[in-house]
């Protein structure tokens, strides 16, 4: 295997044995980007800073970062015109941790504009393409992160997950993606979409790499008021190939109309494997799940409307100078800058959120949405009284074709029907490859766990991975 194809833990073994150096690994991945990214389009920019390979950190692994994570001195745009030219004045907390570990930052990865999307098509840089089929989307919003890892253009990557934006693209691209417990990884330096839902997490080639990268980025940060001040366990100690006695709940609401029969078959086969390996698999109910998507698109758009109000042409990025004054110079500046700077999906979500928060509608929409969010969280907590893990498909379909759902927002929003509940409840969830469709597209299995119990879902995911070949498959590029 070439160095760019190896997992992070395999590279670390090579470094330890002096069979390869961190610089060799970087050059192999950089060569892969140069050769392939013209057709994958995972990267929106490569890091301008020179790499230092004499850092004492233990993890000198080439890593790509989603284009909403601040890297000091580098442009960061959330793949939106409105932030073109903006350079981050500081490092995000996770970037500090990557640097301290010796990580080699490759550059910024494409995403749906401000993380608004499930296909990586709303980016101002154009779409990213799925390495398994270049006519298909890689999922979103962390589509560039998932595609880069699947195409071996990064050894591992960071994304953000607000309603499934790590797990769904991981499923579409046949890799591992983890959304940690809300607050387990600091959001300092992550440009906000929906502050009560956003979480940074790893996208990796296998579960071992996922645990290693989570070890690096997890931990308390006083600059994030929602950061959890608790000791971080060594997640690699959870990588045990044994699920005997583990109780896995299967929500009856997960297997409904709209679920692709091939996805259903792959997930059911995965559950049968868990049974053979000694896990206890039983049906459970999450009765408020049918309201999750609607609830999410009230809460998330309301928070997005508030967070994106700061991008007005005065301080950050794009500024459009009005040609003709209609009311006054400042209001005209706001209107013309935001009209030119935001794409259609961003405008749609800002308007939805502004409406939900407006006078006379706050109680009817936002407040009611928060109440239903509590009911969804309570459903999950009730199930976790008798189960260790909840298993569902990660997405209802395999990757769809580029442009197929772009003009149908509702169909696009339903791509996250299985992933949204974990964000609303703040619990950890992981997607692992569990098979392929007849057309050769990857399928993902989602495992959700109790708050702060990443260890259990990593154990279940690792056991599953070690007993099938799906994570070893590579797209033919």
pLDDT band per the 50, 70, 90 thresholds, residue 313: very high
Three-state DSSP class for residue 368: helix
In this prediction, residue 323 carries a pLDDT of 80
Average pLDDT, stretch 169-182? 98
Residue tagged active-site, from 66, 97, 179, 405: 66
What average pLDDT score do residues 252-276 get? 95
Decide if 305 is catalytic. Answer: no
Name the active-site residue from 165, 186, 270, 305. 165
Share of the chain above pLDDT 70, in %: 100
* pLDDT averaged over every residue in the chain: 96
pLDDT of 265 above 80: yes
pLDDT at res. 131: 98
- The yes-or-no verdict on residue 327 having pLDDT over 80 is no
Q: Considering the chain, what percentage of its residues have pLDDT values greater than 90?
A: 92
Mean pLDDT score, 213-222: 98
Model pLDDT for residues 77-122, shown as the tens digit of each residue: 999 999 999 999 999 999 999 999 999 999 999 999 999 999 999 9
Q: What is the pTM of this model?
A: 0.97
| Choice among 79, 101, 123, 141 that is catalytic | 141
Active site residue 237: no
Domain ranges within the chain, ordered by starting residue = 3-246, 290-370
What are the pLDDT digits (tens) for 52-68?
A: 888 889 999 999 999 99
Residue range 189-194: mean pLDDT, rounded:
98
The residues pairing with 448 across neighbouring beta strands, listed in sequence order, are 390, 429
User: May I ask the CATH class of domain 3-246?
Assistant: alpha beta
pLDDT at position 105 is 97
Is 186 one of the catalytic residues?
no
Assess whether the previous peptide bond of 141 is cis (omega < 30° from 0): yes
pLDDT at site 377: 98
Q: What is the mean pLDDT of residues 249-264?
A: 94
Q: What are the pLDDT digits (tens) for 3-43?
A: 999 999 999 999 999 999 999 999 999 999 999 999 999 99
Q: What is the pLDDT of residue 257?
A: 82
pLDDT of the residue at 50? 84
Residue 342 pLDDT > 80: yes
Q: Which two tokens stand for residue 356?
A: 């939900």
Checking if the pLDDT of 149 tops 90, the result is: yes
Taking residues 396-419, report their average pLDDT: 93
Q: Go through the chain and tell me how many residues it has.
A: 477
CB-based contacts of 347: which residues, under 8 Å, 6+ apart?
Answer: none
CB-CB contact of 341 with 311 (8 Å): yes
64: which strand partners?
Answer: 107, 157
Contact 71, 95 (CB under 8 A): yes
CA 457 to chain centre: 17
Span 218-222, mean pLDDT? 98
Pick the more confident residue, 220 or 325: 220
The confidence score (pLDDT) of residue 180 equals: 98
* pLDDT, mean of residues 276-295: 97
Give, for 16, the enclosing helix (H) or strand (E).
helix 8-16
What b/e sequence results for 258-279 when a residue is b if at least 16 CB atoms lie within 10 Å of its CB, and e otherwise? ebeebbbebbeebbebbeebeb
Any idea what DSSP says for residue 128? -
């Amino acid at each position: 295997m070439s160095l760019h194809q190896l997992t992070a833990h395999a590279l670390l073994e090579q470094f330890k044995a002096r069979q390869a150096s961190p610089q060799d690994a970087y050059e192999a991945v950089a060569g892969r980007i140069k050769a392939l990214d013209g057709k994958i389009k995972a990267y929106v920019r490569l890091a301008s800073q020179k790499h230092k390979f004499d850092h004492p950190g233990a993890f000198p692994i080439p890593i790509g970062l989603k284009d909403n994570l601040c890297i000091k001195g580098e442009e960061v745009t959330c793949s939106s015109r409105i932030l073109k030219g903006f350079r981050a004045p500081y490092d995000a907390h996770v970037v500090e941790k990557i640097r301290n570990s010796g990580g080699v930052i490759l550059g910024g990865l494409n995403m749906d504009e401000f993380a608004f999307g499930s296909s990586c098509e709303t980016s101002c840089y154009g779409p990213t393409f799925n390495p398994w089929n270049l006519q298909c989307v890689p999922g979103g919003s962390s589509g560039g992160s998932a595609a880069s890892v699947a195409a071996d253009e990064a050894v591992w990557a960071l994304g953000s997950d607000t309603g499934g934006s790590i797990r769904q693209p991981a499923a579409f691209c046949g890799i591992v993606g983890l959304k940690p417990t809300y607050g387990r990884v600091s959001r300092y330096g992550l440009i906000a979409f929906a502050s009560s839902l956003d979480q940074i997490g790893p996208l990796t080639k296998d579960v071992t790499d996922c645990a290693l990268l989570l070890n690096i980025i997890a931990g308390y940060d006083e600059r994030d008021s929602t950061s959890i001040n608790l000791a971080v366990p060594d997640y690699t100690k959870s990588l045990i190939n044994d699920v005997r006695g583990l109780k896995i709940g299967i929500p009856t609401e997960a297997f409904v109309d709209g679920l692709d029969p091939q996805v259903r078959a792959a997930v059911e086969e995965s559950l049968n494997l868990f049974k053979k390996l000694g896990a206890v698999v039983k049906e459970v109910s999450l009765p408020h799940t049918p309201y999750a998507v609607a609830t999410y698109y009230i809460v998330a758009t309301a928070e997005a409307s508030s967070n994106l109000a700061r991008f007005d042409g005065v301080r950050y990025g794009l500024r459009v100078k009005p040609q003709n004054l209609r009311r006054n110079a400042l209001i005209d500046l706001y209107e013309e800058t935001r009209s030119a700077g935001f794409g259609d999906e961003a405008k749609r979500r800002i308007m939805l959120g502004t409406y939900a928060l407006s006078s006379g509608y706050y109680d009817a929409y936002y407040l009611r949405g928060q109440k239903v969010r509590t009911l969804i969280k309570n459903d999950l907590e009730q199930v976790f009284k008798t189960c260790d893990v909840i298993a569902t498909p990660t997405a209802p379909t395999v990757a769809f074709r580029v442009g197929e759902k772009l003009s149908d927002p509702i169909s696009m929003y339903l791509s996250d029907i299985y992933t949204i509940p974990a964000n609303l409840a703040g619990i950890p969830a992981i997607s692992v490859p569990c098979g392929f469709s007849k057309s050769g597209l990857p399928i993902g299995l989602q495992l959700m766990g109790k708050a702060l119990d990443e260890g259990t879902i990593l154990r279940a995911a690792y056991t599953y991975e070690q007993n099938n070949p799906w994570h070893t498959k590579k797209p033919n590029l």
